Structure 1
């Protein structure tokens, strides 16, 4: 799907309710909903990656031109904000 972009993928455990995720992320950036598929989160912090959160609990971060430290900081932020465990990051 994103052929020209490096992607960092992981799984939320348990899979969160997408509306709850949307509500928690909204104050921290822009949300674009994809009916029946999930959402795109564009964080206010320009150093963080755009995140695609899917209804199956998977998440993909577009990491082109980003530092890995910033990507890991964003993942830790998502895990803490959503109060959910992240598995299989890589």
Structure 2
């Protein structure tokens, strides 16, 4: 038959094992929580970066549109100048 001391010893050993397992599990959960916080912070930073890039791209698009308009006006001016020069050349053979 098992004595009370042996039962207490076995119960203490089992409870210590469960306590160690729970402590280890708690540690791993804290690590996972820390990793999830870091991942969330990185995602938030990436989202902010993407928003800044989207704003920059919108500004670049506006600048390119303005540049395109300027090029079109320059082409019109050059075409007009070419016509005027051709007319002047034709008028003064």
Report the TM-score range of the alignment, normalised by the length of the smaller protein.
under 0.3
The normalised TM-score by structure 1 is 0.19
Higher share of residues assigned helix = 2
More relative contact order in 1 or in 2 (CA 8 Å, sep 6+)?
1
* TM score, norm. by length of structure 2: 0.19
Q: Which has the higher strand share?
A: 1
